[in-house]
Amino acid sequence: MGNRLAKALIIIGGISFGTAAIFIKLCNLTPDAIAFFRFFISGLILSPLGLKLRDIPKTMLPGLLLAAHMILFILSLDFTTVNSSTVLVSTTPIFILLISLFTHKRVPVYDIVFISIALVGIVIMNYPIVINYVLGNVLALFAALFMAFYTLDLRRYNYENSFELTSSIYLSASIFLGPIVIFTGLGDLNLRSIEALAGLIFIPTLIGHGSYIYISNKIRPQIVSLMEILEPVVATLLAIPLFKQIPSIYQIVGSIIVLASLTYLLYHS
C-alpha cells in the first residue's frame, strides 16, 4: 500500500472520527440502540460489496470488542465532556504498548517514560475532581482498552476485500448489541435522532472506521492509531459552538500532554 494513500486515509479517517462524539450527543436514542443501529445498518450497506455469511462467525471476537468499545464510549459522553472523552479514548496506543509489556514483548524504555507522562496528563484532566466527570473519564479509558484489543486482533485477518471484513465485523457487533436493545429500549426516536444516526453511520463509521479497518493489517498498529489523535482535536473544536463546551485550563493542559505523548509514541514506535 502506498505511503501517500496510507497518510491520506489516516487524515480522512481521523477527521471523520472526530464527528462521532458530536452525532452521538445529538442523538436521543439509548447508548445500546445507537451502537446497534450504527453497526447493523452500516453492515447491511456494505454487505453487497462482498459479505459472505459464513465469515460472520469468524469475526465474532472483534465484533464483541467493537461493541463493548462503542457502548463504553457513548456512555462516557453522558458523564463527561466531549474533549475529555475523545482525548481519553485516543489513548489506545498506550494500551497497545501496555499489552505488549504484559505479554512479555520487548518495549523500549522511552516508550514507558512517555506512557507515564501521558498518565500524568490524564490525572491533570480529572482535576478538580467531579464525580460524574471521573466516571465518564474512566468509561472512556475502558473504551480505549477495548479498542486496543480490537486493533491488535485485526492483525490476524488476511483479506483482500476490506469491505467484506468490515461488513462482517459490523454485523457481528450488532448480534451482541441486538438482545441488549430489547431490554433497554430505543429511547426517543425523533427526526433529530434519525438525522444524527445517519450522520454517525456515513461519516465516522463508513468513512472513518472503514479507513481504519482497510489499513489495519497493512501498517503498524501504532501508526493506524494515529487516526485517534485527530479525533479529539476535531471533536473539541466542533463541541465549542454546538454544545458550548469550552475546555477548562486543566483539560487543555492535560489534553496537550496526553496528545503530545501519544504523538511521540506513534512516530517513534
Tell me the angle at which helices 227-243 and 3-17 cross, rounded to the nearest 10 degrees: 30
Query: What's the distance, Cα to Cα, between the start and end of the chain in Å?
Result: 19
Confidence of residue 265 (pLDDT cuts 50, 70, 90): confident
Q: What number is the average pLDDT over the span 148-157? A: 85
Sign of CA pseudo-dihedral 14, 229, 39, 133: negative
Per-residue exposure over 140-178, b if at least 16 CB sit within 10 Å of its own CB, e if not: bbbbbbbbbbbbbbbeebebeebbbbbbbbbbbbbbbbe
pLDDT of res. 104: 66
- Residue whose grid cell is 463541541: 239
Which of the residue ranges 95-99, 219-223, 224-228 would you say has the lowest mean pLDDT?
219-223
Which residues make beta-bridge pairs with 187? 29
Q: Above 60 in pLDDT, residue 167?
A: yes
**Gap between the Cα atoms of 39 and 25, Å rounded:** 17
Whole-number pLDDT of residue 269: 60
Report the pLDDT value the prediction gives residue 221, as an integer from 0 to 100: 62
Mean residue pLDDT of the chain comes to 86
Can you tell me the distance from the alpha carbon of 7 to that of 267, in angstroms, rounded to the nearest whole number?
A: 13
Question: Tens of pLDDT along 193-206?
Answer: 999 999 999 999 88
Q: HEC states along the chain?
A: CCHHHHHHHHHHHHHHHCCHHHHHHHCCECHHHHHHHHHHHHHHHHHHHCCCHHHHHHHHHHHHHHHHHHHHHHHHHHHCCHHHHHHHHCCHHHHHHHHHHHCCCCCCHHHHHHHHHHHHHHHHHCCCCCHHHHHHHHHHHHHHHHHHHHHHHHCCCCCCCHHHHHHHHHHHHHHHHHHHHHHHCCECCCHHHHHHHHHHHHHHHHHHHHHHHHHHCCCCHHHHCCHHHHHHHHHHHHHHHHHCCCCCHHHHHHHHHHHHHHHHHHHCC
The pLDDT value given to residue 233: 86
89 contact partners, CB below 8 Å, separation of at least 6: 73, 76, 140, 143, 144, 147, 228, 231, 232
19 pLDDT band, cuts 50/70/90, is: very high
Contacts for 233 with CB less than 8 Å, ≥ 6 apart: 18, 259
Q: Would you say residue 4 has pLDDT above 80?
A: no
Global pTM value? 0.87
